[in-house]
Amino acid sequence: AVLRHLLSSGLVWNEKIACLQQLEMVLQSHDDNPMFSSDLFDMFNDVIIGEIGDAHYKVASQAMETLCAAMRNPQSGYYLSHYLESLIPALFLRISDSKEIVRSHASEALGIIKDKNDPDAVMQGLVGATRACKAVKAQCAIMVYFEEVFATYKGSSGNSWRSMLAFCLRMATNKNPEVREHAVAACARVYYSGKVAAVEAALSGLPTSPRATVRKAIETSVRPTETVSSLSEAIACPDEEDSSAQSGESQMSISMMKDEADGIPVTDISPVNSDAEDALEDLDVSSRPSASEDTQDAGALRIAQLQELAATLSDTPSEEAFRCLSEIDSALLALVPVDDHNRLGVAVWSGFLKVIRAEKIDEDLACAACSTIISYFNLIPKERIEENIDSVIEILLKLNAAPNYELSSVATGAGIQLVKAADPADSYSTLAPLLPDADKMPPFQGDDARYACCVLKFFRPCLRKISAPQLRAALDMSMPSLCRCFESPHPEIRHLSLDCIVSIQQCVGRDATSDFTQSMTKTQQKLIEIQCQKS
């Protein structure tokens, strides 16, 4: 009856407070209440969301006090755990309120939610808050809260933290310095926890210009003496002397992890620093360090276990299996024969193809598959890649246009690594026809512009590997389109096409491209010349 009364119109602020206080008294009792039901809490959620947003600060404050009482009650707290996707955004909308009492109660409610609920469920609510909150203080608070929640993760298979990571990386390019500072700190927390591959995959979705800057900021913010621990991971950090002695080299963070699939402790060695020019660092399996027979046997056993897990992907691909395979240990791989590398790579490749070629793509599964395959391209025989490159690039370009930002980012990263691993001539012949039609005005808006940008991102690494004779013979396939794109009012298309033209000139020489660039303005030609000198 109280809830229905609150939902009715015409109540003044003091009447609302009286009703909310009455609800709070009921909820403060921890005895099982037979009246509690899903339907009742549907109504309760609607009431609380509405009153948290009330213009009168006393009503909003009392609504949050009532919510705190409900979250502390085990019975009502269980029901409310299903409404976090609406409750958390509502609370963050008041976290930057001008009244201290409102901010305090919003912070208290968020603290209880964090302590009483599964981290992945909280992350899902946070993703909703990123869409609802545009105020600087609210966005900063969201990223601080993300850090706190991420620190409590217990290895859940959920993907919401990846969506939050993608949001923080976007905020790392924000014009507001306070937002950038909190965003970089949040990304560094994920990076330093051992999720290097996830951060690198998400970074590949950023435009080229800010990507290196954001990566450097994240790496700089990681303090060698700082340790981030969770129930599933313990990260050992290099001290400051080691860090300074190895300046400019790839630092290694060693984490002892428990493999849930087989119960065998595994030492995971992951690179912390990466090449600023590449979105994702290629695996180095060429060097083979000396090792004892026991270590070699352990490596062979581990590879056999990974192969067994990868073999299941061709029949029943699962997100859990892809996640287990995603953190590959290159030092361990160096202990076993190359043939075993190839068998493992082919098994993961087969599972990846099955997922992305499904009639109806599961986005979470596709995210896991794309994130994992990025680490395995160096283990897949080139002939296997070349058999499927046309269809895979076509699918990855479609996934890049997905509204799911995380899926779009990892699909772009997978495409870039695919082109790097494939024969450059094959990549060129596949991608050049996909460039915008030079005889028509290139698409500069919406999904068409996004598609064009993705094709150019895939095309760029191919130009850095192809031989001069091969490229010189096929300039007609790409240069007309690239020159037209260089006239685009869309800044990213213009920037990417400039990169491609510069790469071509560096490969075949300026004279070979003069027939295509002679129609450009002197300013455009000068810009290309300057970029060639810088590169």
- On whether both 105 and 182 belong to a single domain, the answer is yes
Q: Does any domain span residue 338? A: yes
16 with 119, same domain: the answer is yes
Domain with residue 195: its CATH number is 1.25.10.10
* Domain boundaries, position 312: 282-422
DSSP state of 281: P
The sign of the CA dihedral 117, 118, 119, 124 is negative
pLDDT class for 493, splitting at 50, 70, 90?
A: confident
369 and 487 in a single domain? The answer is no
Split at pLDDT 50, 70, 90, the class of 468 is: very high
Q: Which residues contact 304 (CB under 8 A, 6 or more apart)?
A: none
pLDDT in tens, 376-421: 887 888 888 888 899 999 999 988 877 777 788 888 888 988 998 8
CB atoms within 10 A of CB 320: 12
pLDDT for 303: 65
Residue 255 lies in a domain: no
Tell whether 238 is covered by a domain.
no
Q: Is residue 430 part of a domain?
A: no
Question: Where is pLDDT greater, at 88 or 402?
Answer: 88
**Whether residues 390 and 297 fall in one domain:** yes
Total domains present in the chain: 3
Q: Does one domain contain both 404 and 439?
A: no
| Residue 240 resides in a domain | no
Show which of 207, 231, 255 is a domain's final residue. Answer: 231
pLDDT of residue 531: 84
Residue 267 falls inside a structural domain: no
Residue 96 has pLDDT above 70, yes or no: yes
Pair 42, 70 in one domain: yes
Pick the range with the lowest mean pLDDT from 26-30, 319-323, 469-473: 26-30
Confidence label for 505 from pLDDT (cuts 50, 70 and 90) = very high
Tell me: pLDDT of 293 over 60: no
Phi, psi of 250, rounded to the nearest 5 degrees? -75, 120
Is there a single domain that holds both residue 343 and residue 474?
Answer: no
pLDDT of residue 471: 92
pLDDT at 31: 60
Q: What b/e sequence results for 120-139 when a residue is b if at least 16 CB atoms lie within 10 Å of its CB, and e otherwise? A: bbbbbbbbbbbeebeeeebb
pLDDT band at 276 (very low <50, low <70, confident <90, very high): very low
Q: Give kind and range of the element (H or E) at residue 71.
A: helix 57-72
Would you place residue 428 in the very low, low, confident or very high pLDDT band (cuts 50, 70, 90)?
A: very high
Report, as an integer, the average pLDDT of 251-265: 27
Q: Are residues 474 and 373 located together in one domain of the fold?
A: no
Instruction: Check pLDDT > 80 for residue 121.
Output: yes
Q: Are residues 353 and 501 in the same domain?
A: no
317-321, 367-371, 401-405: least confident range: 401-405
pLDDT at 42 (0 to 100):
78
- If asked whether residues 289 and 201 sit together in one domain, one would say no
In this predicted model, which residue has the larger pLDDT, 284 or 196? 196
Is residue 318 one of the residues assigned to a domain?
yes
Residue 277 lies in a domain: no
d(CA 45, CA 443): 45
Which of 393, 422, 451 lies at the terminal end of a domain, its last residue?
A: 422
- CA 381 to CA 347: how far, in whole Å? 11
Residue 327 DSSP code: S
Given a cut of 80, is residue 11 above it in pLDDT? no
Note whether 70 and 130 are same-domain residues: yes
Q: How confident is the model at residue 272 (pLDDT cuts 50, 70, 90)?
A: very low
> Does 249 score more than 50 pLDDT?
no
Question: pTM to 2 decimals?
Answer: 0.49
280 band by pLDDT with thresholds 50, 70 and 90:
very low
Question: 45 and 166: one domain?
Answer: yes
For 277, 359, 455, 466, the CA distances from 486, given in Å and listed in that order, are 21, 37, 14, 22
User: Is pLDDT of 267 > 70?
Assistant: no
